[in-house]
């Protein structure tokens, strides 16, 4: 397993942007598929985006498609979530997750498929 630490959350006005980072420990980060999930108060945790360990494949929830971009830098053991055109409904705690994957293009959008989780970072969008 890897240890994950998120950063970059904060308060932003609607229409603004934030970039979240998720730093991973361990020397085998490049073999982990990564995902971002979020949980708003009173709601279930939901999938946001995923990226394969090679970075060649990505997947997004419909609600963030064309606004959010997931990327990774395996040399820095870090995955990013660039969030643009933020809306009040994007307000949530955002967590990154990791799953060791044997395939370079594998993606996972179910939280039960992930092995390791960060502690989360709060994103608040004011309208």
- Which residue has tokens 């980060």? 29
pLDDT tens-place string over residues 15-32: 999 999 999 997 788 899
Check if the beta carbon of residue 6 is closer than 8 Å to that of residue 120: yes
Dihedral sign of CA atoms 87, 89, 93, 96 in order: negative
pLDDT at 97: 98
Let me know: does 98 contact 24? Beta carbons within 8 Å: yes
DSSP H stretches of helix in 2-62: none
Whole-number pLDDT of residue 60: 98
Q: Read off the pLDDT of residues 28-47 as tens digits, 9 standing for 90 and up.
A: 888 999 999 999 999 999 99
């Amino acid at each position: 397993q890897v240890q994950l630490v998120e950063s970059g959350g904060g308060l932003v006005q609607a229409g603004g942007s934030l970039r979240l980072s998720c730093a991973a420990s361990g020397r085998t980060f490049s073999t982990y598929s990564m995902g971002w999930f979020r949980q708003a108060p009173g709601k279930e945790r939901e999938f946001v985006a995923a990226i394969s360990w090679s970075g060649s494949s990505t997947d997004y929830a419909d609600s963030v498609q064309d606004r959010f971009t997931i990327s990774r830098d395996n040399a820095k053991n870090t995955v990013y979530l660039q969030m643009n055109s933020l809306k009040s409904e994007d307000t949530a705690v955002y967590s990154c997750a990791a799953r060791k994957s044997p395939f370079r293009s594998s993606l996972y959008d179910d939280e039960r498929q992930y092995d390791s989780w960060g502690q989360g970072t709060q994103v608040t969008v004011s309208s």
